[in-house]
Amino acid sequence: MSRSMPAKLLRLALLTSAALPGAALAQEATEVAEVTVTAQKRTQDLLDVGGSVSVVAAEQVAGRRVEQVRDLAALTPNLDVKEQAPGAMPVITVRGVGLDDFSSTNNPSAGIYIDEVYLASLAQMSFDFFDVERVELLKGPQGTLYGRNSTAGALNILTARPSLAGFSARAAASYGNYEAADIEGMVNVPLGETVALRLAAKGIRQGEGYWFNRVIGEDIGRRKLALGRAQLRWTPSEDLDVIFKIEGQRARSEMGQGEFFGYAPTPGAPCPGDPACANLFGYSDPDGDPFTGDWSGEHFYDIDQVGATLRIERKIGEATLTSVTGYANFARSFYIDTDASPLRLTDFIQTDKVHQLSQELRLSGETGRANWLVGGFYSRDGVRVYTPAFFENLFNTRLLSTADQETTSAAAFAHAEWTLSDRLSLVTGLRYTWEKKSNLGEVHDLVALCPASFLTMAPCGTSPIRIAFVDDTIRDRNWSWKLGLNYKPTPLTLLYVSASQGVKSGGFFSGFATSSAQLQAYEPERLIAYEAGWKTRVLEAGLSLSASAFYYDYKDVQTFIRDTSGALPIQRLGNVGKAELYGLDAEAVWRPAALEGLTLQAGVGLLHAELGAFTTADGPVAAGNRLPNAPKVTFNLQARYERAVSEGWRVALQGAGHYSDDAFKDAINDPLVRQESYWSWDGRVSLIGEESGLELALWGKNLSDERHLTQGLDLPALGYGNRNYNAPRTYGVSIAKRW
C-alpha cells in the first residue's frame, strides 16, 4: 500500500464534502422517492447500502434508449464501456479497473449478472436489453455476496418478473434513420391464484449500416436480431417462490470495420498517423471518414444463444434459502478485417462456443443484531474457439488458431451486517475461492498456397506446421474480504467507510501467436479498495445526494501489452506489477418544488489511475503510464420536464449529455489509439396518454454527431493499424402502448 494513501483519501473526503454529490440514478418521478435495490441480495432502500451503487430503472432504460451495455456509460460517472470491434464485444471498465482484452476464453473484471446468473465469457457480452426491471452497477470489488469474484464491480441486470397482481401488457415500436426498426412486446398473465406467466420478445432490423465499403459498393453493419423470453412463476404459499426462465437470441447481422492508418509515407506526408500514410503494399485511405473504407472479405456477425434459469426461494423459519441455477449455450461467428485494407493481410473468421452451468445456494436471515448471509457457488464452463486466418497477401498462407478451455470454480462466502447501536452498524464479509482452468491452445500454419508459406518457408503440400502451442492447467486459491462501518446520523443520511479485497483469477490468451511464449498463462490480479461515502435525501428541497471517495491498491494488473517475441507482433493480456488509483464519484437528483414536473440529474467522476513500471518485449516502460480506458473526468447530466397539455395528456421534454475526458486504449499509452475528450448529447420529446396508456415520442442520440475512438490496434511492424469509433447520429420516432 502506498504510504500516501491516508492523506490522499482524506483529501478526497474533503473534496466529497465540497462537491455537489448525488444519489444513484433514480426512477423518473415527480418526488424524491425511495429507490429499491437488491445489491446486497436482499430488498433494501438504496440509502441503507454502504457502498457506491448506481441504479437505472425501467423508465430510464426505455426513455434513454439504453439498448446495450455500451449505453450505460452515458448515465453513470467513472464508467467506461469500449467495444473491441465496431458495434460489438463491449468491455466494461469501472473506476479504471477493467479487462483490456478480446479473448473469448477470458472472463470480465466487472462481473455481469443477468437475474443473478454470471456470464462466464467476454463473447457473451453483446446482447440487447428488453423488458428490464432495473440495472444496478456496484462499484468496487465484489465477492462476499456474489457468485464469482471480481475486482472492478458487478453489473446486475434484472428482468421484469411475472406478477400475480393481474393481466398487463406492453407493445412498442420505433423507426429511425439507417432504416432501423425495432418492435417489442410483453404480456403478463396470471394462471390462477398461484401461477403467473410473462412472455417478452424483441425484434431488431437495421436495413442500412453505418459503414460503406467501397470494394463492394455497399454499406455494411446491418442488423437482424430476434430475442425472446418466457418466465413462469409459482408461489403456492408465502414461504415458497419459484421462477423458471428460458430465453434465447438469434442474430444474423454484419460487423462494422475499423478505420485504416498506415506507416509508409507518401511524398510530403509525415508518418505515422497521417491519413495519407500507406501500408507496406502502398495502400492508404486519406478521405478522413472513419465510416468509409476498402475492406476485404465478408462482414457477417452471427449469434445463437439459449439459456435457462431456475430460481427457488424458500422461507425456513426466520431464514430464507435461495437457489439459483443457470445454464447457457452460446455460439457466435464473425469476420473481421484487422488490417482494414482491400488486401487479405490479417483477416480472420472467429467462431466461439460457450457452455456454462452454475449453481448458487445461499441462506440468509436476521438473528439478534445481525442480518446475515452464507452461501456457496459452483460453476463449470467450456469455451471453444476456432479461428481460421487469411494471410495470403502478407505471407502467402493461412493460419488456424484454436483454443479449448475448461474452467471449474467453487466458492464459499459469508456476509453480515451487525447492529452496534441504533445508528451504527458493522459490515463483515469473507470468501474463499478455488478455481481451475485447463487450456489447450494451438496455432498452425496451414501452408495452403503455392509456392510456399513465407511465414515458415515451407513449400505448399507440406502438412500444417504448429507454430505456437500451450497445454496447461492453472489453479488458484484465494481469499476475499470486506470490512465496513455504516453510520446514520438521521434516518435520511448515511455515512460509510469500507475496505475490501477482490481477486480475479489468471487465465490464457487465445488468439494468433507465432511463439508458444505468447500463449502462456497470465497471473491473477488483486485489488484492495478503501472507500468513504455519504448519501442523503433532503425531502423539503426535493434533493437526493450521494458521493464517495476511493483509493485502490492494485497488484499484478491484467492489461493489454504489446508482445513482439514471435515472428509477428501481437497485443495480448499480460501482468503489470502494480497500479495506483484514487478518485471521487458524485451524483445528484433534484426535483424542485417550485417547478412541478422538472427533474434534474447530474453525476461527476474524477479519477487518477497510474501504472507502475513494467517491461514488454519492446523494452522497459517507466512508471506513470495511465491505465487503459480510464478518463480522468467523466460527467453526465439530464433534464426532464413534464406538464399537462390537456385532460389526460402530458408532454415530456428530455435532454441529456455525457462528457468523457481523453483516455488511452492500451498500457503502452500509444498516442495513435488515444481517445480524445468528447461530449455527446441525446434528446427526446414525448406525448403521454395517462388514461390510454399510449406514448408517442421523437428521439435522437449523439445529436452533435460526435465521433470518438472506442478501440484501436497499432501494429507498426506490419505497417498498419486501425481505429474504431462510436455510432454516428441516430434519430427516429417511437410508439408504445400499455394495457
**Cell output for 693:** 396508456
- Tell me the domains of the chain and their CATH numbers: 5-258+295-573+582-738 (2.40.170.20), 263-293 (no CATH)
Which residue from 484, 468, 447 is spatially nearest to 520, judged by alpha carbons?
468
DSSP character string of 178-197: TTEEEEEEEEEEE-SSSEEE
267 CB-near residues (< 8 Å, 6+ apart): none
The yes-or-no verdict on residue 22 having pLDDT over 60 is no
In 3-state terms the chain splits into helix, strand, coil percentages (rounded to 5) of 5, 60, 35
Confidence bin at 19 (pLDDT 50/70/90): very low
Indicate the residue type of 504: K
| pLDDT at residue 273, as a whole number | 77
Q: What is the spatial distance between Cα 247 and Cα 360, in angstroms, rounded to a whole number?
A: 19
Confidence bin at 8 (pLDDT 50/70/90): very low
Calculate mean pLDDT across residues 90-94: 89
The yes-or-no verdict on residue 577 having pLDDT over 90 is no
The yes-or-no verdict on residue 1 having pLDDT over 70 is no
| pLDDT at residue 567, as a whole number | 67
Show the CA angle centred on residue 607, arms to residues 601 and 612, nearest 5°. Answer: 165
Q: Is 506 helix (H, G, I), strand (E, B) or coil?
A: coil
Residue 690: φ, ψ to 5°: -65, -35
Calculate mean pLDDT across residues 402-413: 95
pLDDT digits (tens, 9 = 90+) for 629-638: 999 999 999 9
Calculate mean pLDDT across residues 665-687: 93
Q: Answer for the pair 473, 406: CB distance below 8 angstroms, yes or no.
A: no
* 2-16, 86-100, 337-351: range with highest mean pLDDT: 337-351
Which residue from 164, 93, 227, 245 is spatially nearest to 554, judged by alpha carbons?
93
The yes-or-no verdict on residue 231 having pLDDT over 80 is yes
Residue 619, judged by CB atoms within 10 A of its CB (0-12, 13-18, 19+), counts as exposed
Calculate mean pLDDT across residues 697-710: 95
pLDDT digits (tens, 9 = 90+) for 31-52: 555 677 777 778 888 888 888 9
Mean pLDDT score across all residues of the chain: 89
The yes-or-no verdict on residue 566 having pLDDT over 70 is no
Q: What percent of the chain has pLDDT over 90?
A: 69
* 106-120, 510-524, 599-613: range with highest mean pLDDT: 599-613
Q: How many helices (H) and strands (E) does the chain have?
A: 3, 42
Q: What is the spatial distance between Cα 412 and Cα 478, in angstroms, rounded to a whole number?
A: 11
| pLDDT at residue 3, as a whole number | 41
Show the CA angle centred on residue 491, arms to residues 374 and 428, nearest 5°. Answer: 25
Residue 317, judged by CB atoms within 10 A of its CB (0-12, 13-18, 19+), counts as exposed
263 CB-near residues (< 8 Å, 6+ apart): 271, 272, 277, 278, 279, 280, 716, 719, 720
The residue to which cell 430460481 is assigned: 311
| pLDDT at residue 615, as a whole number | 76
pLDDT digits (tens, 9 = 90+) for 98-154: 877 778 888 888 888 999 999 988 888 888 999 999 999 999 988 788 777 788 888
Which residue from 210, 216, 287 is spatially nearest to 254, judged by alpha carbons?
210
Residue 677: φ, ψ to 5°: -65, 150
Q: How many CA atoms lie within 13 A of 180 on its CB side?
A: 16
The yes-or-no verdict on residue 11 having pLDDT over 60 is no
Calculate mean pLDDT across residues 309-333: 96
Confidence bin at 495 (pLDDT 50/70/90): very high
Indicate the residue type of 11: R
Cα diameter, the chain: 82
| pLDDT at residue 47, as a whole number | 86
The yes-or-no verdict on residue 406 having pLDDT over 90 is yes
327 CB-near residues (< 8 Å, 6+ apart): 307, 308, 309, 356, 357, 358
Calculate mean pLDDT across residues 180-195: 96
Which residue from 628, 683, 629, 679 is spatially nearest to 658, judged by alpha carbons?
679
The yes-or-no verdict on residue 572 having pLDDT over 80 is no
Tell me the CA distances in angstroms from 719 to 192, 261, 271, 287, 603, one per residue in order: 67, 9, 11, 19, 42
225 CB-near residues (< 8 Å, 6+ apart): 128, 202, 203, 204, 205, 249, 250, 251, 252, 253, 303
Confidence bin at 7 (pLDDT 50/70/90): very low
Calculate mean pLDDT across residues 667-679: 92
Show the CA angle centred on residue 689, arms to residues 685 and 694, nearest 5°. Answer: 85
Q: What percent of the chain has pLDDT over 70?
A: 93
pLDDT digits (tens, 9 = 90+) for 419-452: 999 999 999 999 999 999 999 999 999 998 999 9
| pLDDT at residue 264, as a whole number | 85
Whole-prediction pTM: 0.89
